[in-house]
């Protein structure tokens, strides 16, 4: 029986992706759930997308859309490149596509267009890039951008009193909807950790691969996890998004 593995934010770290999948000894029996932000940062963004497209032809993969993926999708679709995107890792993504022809660009655009906003498995576990604000869950979210940008869900979990009972009227209703929630988007580096962080029933798997941290893969049942080398060690001649760390996007 295969495992269900969740993968944090990749941000163009193709070398880290292949390394950590090897370290996790991934087989074709495993289900892989990617939490989004495949691009923007290190130089391998287009290679990451090509690799994921090919990987999904060999085994079950579920791809969640991140905010950086939405930016890249707009660029591939409309040719627009907003300054806020370019200054937050987008330049490296554009460069990574410099030798792609129109046919291949269209295939990659289709990949982005087919990304899921979120996924709920048979164990009532939610996989989403960022979060949601509705007390009724993501299906009732007013704006789809919340799936990719919301930080309030994670901030709520961080700020909670660990002794608060789920039966308490003060317990956040949003957190009662799912047995567990797996997210990315907000680097655990901001809590001083390069490992996955668990707060309330949320697991944050963005261990800072865009910056100075590693890329993480977690077995969602056992909570065993594997990590790549820190990304600056794999890309010693690049900066990734480190220049952007003070203005997190």
Token representation of residue 157: 């979990």
Distance CA(135)–CA(84), nearest Å, equals 30
Q: How does pLDDT run across 213-238, given as a tens digit for each residue? A: 999 999 999 999 999 999 999 999 99
* Percent of the chain that is helix, strand, coil (3-state, to 5): 35, 15, 50
Q: Which whole number is the average pLDDT over 76-81? A: 90
Is-contact 176 200, C-beta < 8 A?
no
DSSP state of 119: E
pLDDT score of 244: 54
Q: How does pLDDT run across 93-116, given as a tens digit for each residue? A: 999 999 999 999 999 999 999 999
Residue 159 has pLDDT above 50, yes or no: yes
Q: Which whole number is the average pLDDT over 31-35? A: 99
3-state secondary structure (DSSP) of residue 6: strand
Token representation of residue 175: 């957190």
Q: Lay out the sheet containing 31-34: strands in order across.
A: 61-63, 31-34, 4-7, 216-219, 225-227
Q: How does pLDDT run across 179-202, given as a tens digit for each residue? A: 999 999 999 999 999 999 999 999
β-pair partners for 7: 34, 217
- The mean pLDDT of the chain is 95
Distance CA(232)–CA(82), nearest Å, equals 26
pLDDT score of 248: 47
Domain boundaries, the chain: 4-242
Instruction: Give the DSSP H/E element, type plus range, for residue 18.
Output: helix 14-23
Q: Which whole number is the average pLDDT over 47-69? A: 98
For the domain 4-242, what is the CATH superfamily, name and number? Metallo-dependent phosphatases (3.60.21.10)
Is-contact 189 212, C-beta < 8 A?
yes
3-state secondary structure (DSSP) of residue 162: coil
Q: How does pLDDT run across 42-54, given as a tens digit for each residue? A: 999 999 999 999 9
Under the banding of pLDDT at 50, 70 and 90, the label for residue 162 is confident
User: pTM for the complete prediction?
Assistant: 0.95
Closest alpha carbon to 144 in 176, 170, 118, 113: 118
Q: How does pLDDT run across 113-134, given as a tens digit for each residue? A: 999 999 999 999 999 999 999 9
Kindly state the percentage of the chain with pLDDT values over 70. 98
Q: Which whole number is the average pLDDT over 47-63? A: 98
**CA distances in angstroms from 102 to 57, 69, 71, 107, listed in the order given:** 22, 19, 19, 9
């Amino acid at each position: 029986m295969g495992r269900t593995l969740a993968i944090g934010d990749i941000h163009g770290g193709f070398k880290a992706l292949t390394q950590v999948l090897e370290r996790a000894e991934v087989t074709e029996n495993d289900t892989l759930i990617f939490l989004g932000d495949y691009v923007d940062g290190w130089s391998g963004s287009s290679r990451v997308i090509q690799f994921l497209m090919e990987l999904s032809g060999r085994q079950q993969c579920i791809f969640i859309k991140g905010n950086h993926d939405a930016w890249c999708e707009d660029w591939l679709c409309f040719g627009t490149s907003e300054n806020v995107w370019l200054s937050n890792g987008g330049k490296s993504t554009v460069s990574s596509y410099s030798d792609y022809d129109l046919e291949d660009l269209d295939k990659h655009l289709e990949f982005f267009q087919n990304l899921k906003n979120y996924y709920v498995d048979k164990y009532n576990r939610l996989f989403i890039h960022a979060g949601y604000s509705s007390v009724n869950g993501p299906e009732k979210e007013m704006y789809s951008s919340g799936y990719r940008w919301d930080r309030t869900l994670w901030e709520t979990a961080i700020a909670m009193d660990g002794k608060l009972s789920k039966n308490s009227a003060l317990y956040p209703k949003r957190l009662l909807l799912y047995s567990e929630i797996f997210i990315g988007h907000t680097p655990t580096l901001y809590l001083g950790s390069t490992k996955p962080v668990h707060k309330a029933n949320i697991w944050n798997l963005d261990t800072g691969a865009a910056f100075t941290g590693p890329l993480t893969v977690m077995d969602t049942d056992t909570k065993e996890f594997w990590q790549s080398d820190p990304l600056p060690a794999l890309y010693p001649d690049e900066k990734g998004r480190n220049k952007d760390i003070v203005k997190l996007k």
